[in-house]
Amino acid sequence: MNPKPSAGQLAAEVDTPVVISAFEEKSPTFTSLAVSLSEIRKLKGVIGYILRSETSALIDLANSKEIVDYAMLSSRIVESSVEIAKQFNIGETESILAEGTNIKVLCMDIGNNKIAIFMEKNASHFWIIKRILL
């Protein structure tokens, strides 16, 4: 008979970072972005990221229960920015920073790759943008 896990064990399981990948991509850009994002993920205040191309996806978030929520949030931010850009004839957006009460989201398009980086509100996004664009 297996003993029931303690509350501490369950909490540790929930807080374990989740990395999901469907990684078929052979693109050097996708691979380079994946390496950069794994380094960025280690920074204080970074909650996680989603990297997508037309054929692959890589997700690294602190809480697996929030994957769908974060994916929907980043998708809606991008969709809204496209509509705003059309409405005001701004042109194509390359990056979007949305700040909420507790978190902020940086969404970027690099070639055919789409990135969403989720961070605490007080985290610095300037270095993150610089690191991605290098």
Average of pLDDT values for 50-78? 91
Average of pLDDT values for 4-28? 50
Q: Please, which pLDDT band fits residue 8 given cuts at 50, 70 and 90?
A: very low
Contact assessment for residue 105 and residue 116, using Cβ atoms and an 8 Å cutoff? yes
- Listing DSSP states for 50-117 in one string gives EEE-SS-EEEEES-GGGHHHHHHHHHHHHHHHHHHHHHTT----SEEEEE-SSEEEEEEEETTEEEEE
Contact assessment for residue 28 and residue 112, using Cβ atoms and an 8 Å cutoff? no
* Domain chopping of the chain, boundaries: 15-133
For residue 14, what is the enclosing H or E element?
A: helix 7-15
CATH class belonging to 15-133: alpha beta
The structure's pTM equals: 0.80
